[in-house]
A = this chain, B = another copy of it.
Amino acid sequence: MSDARLDRLSINQITVKSWNLEQTVNGCAAAGIHRVGLWLDRVAETGVPRTRQLLADNDMQVSSVCRAGFFTGETATARRKAQQENFESIELTAAIGADVLYLVCGGVPPESRDLAGARAAVLDGIAELAPRAHAAGVRLAVEPLHPLFCGERSVVVTLRQALDIAAEFPAEDVGVAVDSFNVWWDPGILETIGAAGERVISYQVCDWLVPLPHPVYGRGVPGDGVIDFPPITAAVSAAGYDGPIEVEIFNEQVWATDPVQVLELVKQRFVRVFESGAAGS
Contacts and interface: CB of A to CB of B under 8 A. Distances in A.
Interface in A192-225: 208-212, 214-215, 225
Interface stretch (A112-120, A133-141, A237-245): A112-120
- The number of chain A residues touching the other chain, given as a range, is 20 to 34
Q: Chain copies in the assembly?
A: 2
Q: Considering residues A146, A152, A208, A226, which has the most beta carbons from chain B within 10 angstroms of its beta carbon?
A: A226
Task: Decide if the interface of chain A is mainly helix, strand, loop or mixed.
Answer: loop
B226 A108 contact: yes
A148 interface: yes
B212 A151 contact: yes
Contact of A119 (B146, B147, B187, B226): B187
A185 interface: yes
A13 interface: no
A28 interface: no
B226 A113 contact: yes
Contact of A212 (B152, B184, B208): B152
A226 to B, nearest CB: 4
A92 to B, nearest CB: 28
Contact of A228 (B115, B161, B214, B215): B115
Interface of A: 107-108, 110, 113-115, 119, 146-148, 150-152, 157-158, 160-161, 184-187, 208-212, 214-215, 225-228
